[in-house]
């Protein structure tokens, strides 16, 4: 008879079970022996060691990930827990503890909501970028106005796409429309009565594109020509041809255009040279868009109330709030206003209501400064501040150009300003600077070599010996610029 075979197996609870017998023999309740405890001469089962090691590794990995996430995402940390009301006989937090908790909460909220600060601080050896008309010169004014220009928008407001479904421009916030008309009545730079429709856009550039769309023929003929007198705003050709539209195309300088069908863009005061402009073309089939972004008292005397068919404005140059990205158009013809509204609808499904509400508050603060007298509460007058700044900066620039001897500027012009009721000089937002040194044919390149960034005249349809220089940067950058310019020979 064959010897019985002993079988060993480990049960689910870790016990060792031995069964003897051949094939077919049923297991019996043999002697059960527990594994020896560690340190007693036995060994821990391998499966327990593996499970323990796996759990420990996962816990350590999770802890490291959570630590890294907390460091790299501080704004996602939970706010400080609210302190529950203590029972009548309990001790309450000390005033110092409460103040500290409020301070921590405010610090966290500030860190979560801190906006960008724009361009970095400049030093005497920094590159000075005056290529763009970034209107940070007005920051000092708005810091002083405080709560007069502040607004709080609750989380439940401005959630709908719609603002006023009964209006031609259905996404125009009514309060913004009211403040636009009020500001124009205050300054008297443009007619803004009921005969005009207000169309809001994401900056005046979107409205410029909307106007081209609205005025272009609806037929399938050749694209209509878009023209402007040189030097013209450098974005006109870039924006016109960017999408290679079949509706319109850039055709260059209005002075050299031959034809009856066109859309003429009139920028007055002109970007880049500050000249006051009128349309140069006359044709029944031609149309005109007036870009009046700079027709405000800080830049030029208000000589008449403009009343054109389409007039474009923007908060970026009127109040300095370029980051709000709000512009508006005053449009006489209802059908043109409807087509412009349709373009904005298809392009961006309307315009930010939050931005419109902020812009309305800002425009209201500007008008209040002039409509409500010069009392202590309303002593902040934007256009007075702006004119003083621009007069000062133009005097500095003319002195620097004279000290250098190799640059020239357009002659200063002036006129009677109906807004301030005095004679005011034309102090444009940009300087049209010419380099007169014979060996310099590219003025932008020459200035770039001296760490001054400007925009070449070639981008405005003009001679590259000219450059456009922004007059709207912060005081520190502008001061370094004029000092550096005066030293160039």
pLDDT for 407-432, tens place per residue? 999 999 999 999 999 999 999 999 99
Domain limits, CATH 3.90.1150.10, in the chain? 128-141+383-487
pLDDT band at 29 (very low <50, low <70, confident <90, very high): very low
SS3 sequence, 334-383? HHHHHHHHHHHHHHHCCCCHHHHHHHHHHHHHHHHHHHCCCCHHHCCCHH
Is the pLDDT at 183 greater than 50, yes or no?
yes
Alpha helices in 93-200 (DSSP H): 95-113, 139-145, 174-187
Q: Alpha-carbon distance 327 to 348, whole Å?
A: 14
Chain segment 457-472, per-residue pLDDT in tens: 999 999 999 999 999 9
| pLDDT tens-place string over residues 156-177 | 999 999 999 999 999 999 999 9
Handedness of CA 404, 405, 408, 414 (dihedral sign): positive
The Cα–Cα gap between 279 and 453 comes to 31
Res 22 pLDDT > 50: no
Q: What is the pLDDT of residue 431?
A: 99
Q: How far apart are CA 82 and CA 58, in angstroms?
A: 33
pLDDT of residue 291: 99
Q: Is the pLDDT of residue 251 over 70?
A: yes
- Which backbone phi and psi does 462 adopt, to 5 degrees? -130, 180
Which distant-in-sequence residues (6+ apart) come within 8 Å of 142 by Cβ? 149, 320
Residue 266, classed as helix, strand or coil, is strand
Closest by CA to 317, choosing from 423, 205, 226, is: 205
Helices (H), ranges, 114-173: 139-145
Pick the range with the lowest mean pLDDT from 16-20, 101-105, 401-405, 409-413.
Answer: 16-20
Q: Answer whether 382's CB lies under 8 Å from 165's CB.
A: no
> Tens of pLDDT along 252-304?
999 999 999 999 999 999 999 999 999 999 999 999 999 999 999 999 999 99
CATH number of the structural domain 153-371: 3.40.640.10
Question: What fold, for 128-141+383-487?
Answer: 3.90.1150
Structure confidence at residue 445 (pLDDT): 98
More confident residue, 69 or 60: 60
Is a pLDDT exceeding 60 seen at residue 346?
yes
* Residue 368 CB contacts under 8 Å (≥ 6 apart), including other chains: 148, 378
pLDDT at 221: 85
- Span(s) in the chain for CATH 3.40.640.10: 153-371
Residue 36: its pLDDT value, please? 44
* Nearest CA among 67, 174, 143 for reference residue 365: 143
d(CA 427, CA 412): 8
Tokens of 380: 């902040």
Residues in the chain: 489
Whether residue 56 has pLDDT greater than 80: no
Q: Could you give the angle at the alpha carbon of 213 between the alpha carbons of 172 and 240, nearest 5°?
A: 110
Q: Give the model's confidence band at 106: pLDDT under 50 very low, under 70 low, under 90 confident, else very high.
A: low
Give the per-residue pLDDT at 43.
Answer: 55
| Choice between 88 and 149, residue whose per-residue pLDDT is larger | 149
């Amino acid at each position: 008879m064959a010897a019985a075979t002993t079988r060993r197996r480990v049960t689910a609870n870790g016990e060792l079970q031995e069964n003897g017998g051949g094939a077919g023999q049923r297991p019996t309740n043999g002697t059960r022996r527990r594994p020896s405890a560690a340190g007693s001469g036995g060994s821990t089962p391998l499966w327990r060691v593996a499970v323990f090691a796996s759990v420990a590794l996962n816990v350590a990995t999770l802890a490291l990930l959570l630590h890294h996430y907390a460091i790299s995402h501080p704004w996602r940390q939970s706010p400080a827990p609210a302190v529950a009301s203590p029972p009548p006989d309990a001790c309450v937090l000390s005033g110092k503890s409460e103040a500290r908790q409020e301070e921590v909460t405010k610090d966290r909220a500030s860190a979560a909501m801190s906006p960008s600060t724009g361009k970095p601080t400049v030093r005497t050896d920094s590159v000075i970028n005056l290529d763009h008309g970034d209107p940070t010169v007005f920051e000092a004014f708005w810091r002083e106005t405080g709560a007069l220009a502040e607004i709080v928008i609750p989380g439940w407001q401005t959630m709908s796409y719609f603002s006023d479904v009964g209006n031609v421009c259905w996404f125009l916030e009514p309060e913004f429309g009211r403040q636009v008309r009020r500001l124009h009545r205050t300054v008297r730079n443009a007619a803004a009565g009921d005969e005009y429709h207000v169309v809001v856009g994401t900056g005046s550039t979107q409205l410029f594109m909307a106007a081209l769309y609205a005025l272009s023929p609806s037929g399938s003929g050749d694209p209509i020509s878009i023209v402007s007198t040189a030097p013209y705003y450098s974005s006109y050709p870039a924006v016109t041809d960017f999408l290679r539209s079949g509706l319109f195309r850039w055709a260059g300088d209005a002075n050299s255009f031959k034809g009856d069908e066109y859309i003429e863009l009139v920028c007055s005061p002109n970007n880049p040279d500050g000249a006051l402009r009128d349309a140069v073309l006359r044709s029944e089939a031609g149309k005109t868009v007036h870009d009046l972004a700079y027709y405000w008292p800080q830049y030029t005397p208000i000589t008449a109330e403009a009343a054109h068919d389409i007039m474009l404005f923007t908060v970026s140059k009127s109040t300095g709030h370029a980051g709000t990205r709000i512009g508006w158009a005053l449009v006489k013809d209802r059908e043109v206003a409807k087509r412009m509204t349709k373009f904005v609808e298809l392009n961006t499904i309307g315009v930010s209501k939050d931005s419109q509400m902020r812009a309305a508050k800002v425009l209201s603060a500007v008008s209040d400064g002039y409509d409500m007298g010069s009392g202590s509460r309303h002593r902040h007058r934007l256009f007075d501040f702006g004119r003083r700044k621009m007069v000062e900066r133009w005097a500095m620039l003319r002195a620097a150009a004279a000290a250098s001897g190799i640059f020239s500027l357009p002659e200063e012009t002036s006129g009677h300003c109906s807004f301030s009721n005095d004679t005011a000089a034309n102090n444009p937002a940009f300087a049209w600077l010419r380099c007169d040194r014979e060996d310099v044919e590219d003025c932008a390149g020459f200035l770039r070599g001296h760490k001054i960034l400007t925009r070449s005249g070639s981008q405005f349809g003009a001679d590259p010996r000219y450059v456009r220089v922004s007059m709207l940067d912060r005081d520190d950058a502008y001061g370094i610029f004029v000092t550096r310019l005066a030293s160039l020979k």
